[in-house]
Amino acid sequence: MHDIDLILTLAGGLSAALVFGAITQRMRLSPIVGYLLAGIVVGPHTPGYEADASLAREMAELGVVLLLFGVGLHFRIDELLAVRGIALPGAIVTCSVATVLGTLAGMALGWDWPASLVFGGSVSVASTVVMLRVLTDNRALHTRPGHIAVGWLVVEDLITVVGLVVLPSLFSGGETSAEGVGIALGMAALRIVGLLAVVVLAGGRIIPWILGTVAETGSRELFTLAVLVIPLGIAVGAASVFGVSMALGAFLAGMVVGRSEFGLRAASEALPMRDAFAVLFFVSVGMLFDPSTLLQSPAAIATALFIVLLLKPAVAFFVMRFRGQPLTVALPVAAALAQIGEFSFILTNLGLQLGVVPGEVLEVLVATAIVTITLSPLLSRLAIRVVTGPAHRLPTEVRPEEESAPSQTPSSHRTIVVGYGPVGQTVTELLLDNQIDPTVIELNLDTVRRLLAFGVRAVYGDASRPEVLSRAGIARAEHLVLTSGTSSVDEEIIRCAKQLNPHVRILVRTHFTRQLKRLQQAGADDAFSAEGEVAMAFTVRILEQLGASPEQVDRERDRVAATFRAG
């Protein structure tokens, strides 16, 4: 019976998430709003089908681990240092002000101080998922405001991770005096240092060695399995051995993997799993929401909305202006912070598990999240319109591919070559001979290392993943050359590349003529089949041996090309 409940919960929850996520996406809202609404629909507080909320929460724990692993994968010390003079004090000041005021507001609403503290912390942190989506949609991710916002997010994420570690130490033992708080914080610090030493120092060698050994097998399934096992294993070890949250263990595992040469591929392999289980997390949160809260707790919801939509952005705006940032930077960043999301729910769920937070707090936060996530894209677009005028685009755009390219002057002609077999090697050498610096995407790690050693741009990863294409510079590429001849994979790469850059010209190779039409329908501009090229070579050689004139050879070559070539 348990198995049936599990399948029904998965099917019902994910199906509702698909429907409502698609609807909110069509409305140009964050799909997170749709997932929360899906949870409300299949939850116990609305009529109709009722999923098993406890099972959904158990499965959502995996989503939390993978979510924090993803945050660690994308955490970059250099990105934070580049904007540390603004993001570090700004995030600390705004989180502190919002937490203090949220705590005071919670106590004024009748909650005790532990519940009020969790409430204050939850309304102080923005959603990584929502902010990155808003910045990307507004083409602002690689601008000065985008870099500051991302650095701001990193600091907020770190503050939240510390909160996830400290809360169990504060409230699990029941001692909440000043002395007990000090002891709890000290013990938490020792456990964090111990975990850091094991994961960062020892894991810095062991984890890359494991991934390298698995990558050498050439099995994509095994690599994906390794990417899943590593954060889960470290998360469980962090909880069972060091007594800290699984979320921190997963975050540290992501940091270690992200610093290695496998970081990009690990991120692309983990993304589908993370997204699937993260959806369950938001659905499980929505299941806990009782719509009657809107009538029972209007003051609490209004207070949360005031802090998230007005107070925190205002504090962020004044901090940035005080630090000398112009209006064109301060206003878009402040507007992007006006929402809450996944970390707010993770923090509140931990408070529920510790028994210090009433269910009303989570319901208030769900209502707040639905409103703020819905308004976030609208507020960001309005802020950009105010500071940039009708162009709706922020200045000082930074090229995303510069992050991974070697320190050399990029060519004015940007070409990406997927695969470095005999065909890819020939194409790459031809481009280099003509003073065009290509970027090679390759799944053979030794090949990537060799190319980088010779000063050739190279990215290790699966080209069918958007993150890998973006890192290779697809947004500004003029040509994309697919050399493997693997038709099914190439179709996915073509579709993904055209979504990221509709103007890129794609050349693709395939083994069989019958596959040309499908590749062309997927978006290939020029498609070549091995069968056609062999037939053409045979035709030319036979005609030359028969003494045909150059004009006859050219005419027959064109005729064969029309038969065996698309594009």
Is the backbone of residue 524 left (phi > 0), alpha (psi -120 to 50) or beta?
beta
pLDDT in the model for residue 447: 86
- Packing angle, helices 246-259 and 263-287, rounded to 10: 160
pTM of the model: 0.65
pLDDT in the model for residue 406: 42
Question: What percent of the chain stands above pLDDT 70?
Answer: 84
Q: How far is CA 251 from CA 123, 227, 245, 341, 471, in A?
A: 21, 13, 10, 17, 22
- Contact indicator for 349, 287 with CB cutoff of 8 Å: no
For the segment(s) 2-391, the CATH number from 1.10.730.10, 1.20.1530.20, 3.40.190.170, 2.60.40.420 is 1.20.1530.20
Instruction: Report which of 425, 479, 480, 392 is spatially closest to residue 138, judged by C-alpha positions.
Output: 392
Written as six digits, the tokens of 278 are 């993260």
CA distance 420 to 190: 48
- Contact indicator for 344, 125 with CB cutoff of 8 Å: yes
Domain 2-391 shares a fold with domain 403-566: no
Q: How far is CA 408 from CA 202, 343, 411, 452, 478, in A?
A: 34, 39, 9, 12, 19
Q: Is the pLDDT of residue 405 over 50?
A: no
Is the backbone of residue 461 left (phi > 0), alpha (psi -120 to 50) or beta?
left
pLDDT in the model for residue 179: 61
Specify burial of residue 389 (Cβ count, 10 A radius: 0-12, 13-18, 19+): exposed
**How confident is residue 397, by pLDDT bands cut at 50, 70 and 90?**
very low
Which range is least confidently modeled, 277-286, 291-300, 419-428? 277-286
CA distance 467 to 491: 17
* 160, 162, 163, 165: CA torsion to nearest 10: 130
Q: Which residues contact 506 (CB under 8 A, 6 or more apart)?
A: 479, 480, 481, 482, 494, 497, 498, 523, 524, 525, 526
For the segment(s) 403-566, the CATH number from 3.40.50.150, 3.30.1320.10, 3.40.50.720, 3.40.1410.10 is 3.40.50.720
Q: Is the pLDDT of residue 512 over 60?
A: yes
CA distance 153 to 128: 6
pLDDT in the model for residue 142: 64
Most confident of 99-113, 246-260, 432-446, 523-537: 99-113
Written as six digits, the tokens of 314 are 């205002």
- Contact indicator for 485, 510 with CB cutoff of 8 Å: yes
**How confident is residue 401, by pLDDT bands cut at 50, 70 and 90?**
very low
- Residue showing tokens 């949160």: 285
Written as six digits, the tokens of 291 are 């719509």
pLDDT in the model for residue 61: 72
Q: Is the pLDDT of residue 245 over 80?
A: no
pLDDT in the model for residue 94: 93
Q: Is the pLDDT of residue 487 over 80?
A: no
Instruction: Report which of 391, 374, 392 is spatially closest to residue 383, judged by C-alpha positions.
Output: 392
How far, in whole angstroms, is CA 89 from its chain's centroid? Answer: 25
CA distance 128 to 157: 8
Q: Is the pLDDT of residue 421 over 50?
A: yes
CA distance 96 to 91: 8
Per-domain residue ranges of the chain:
2-391, 403-566
Written as six digits, the tokens of 134 are 């808003």
- Contact indicator for 387, 332 with CB cutoff of 8 Å: yes
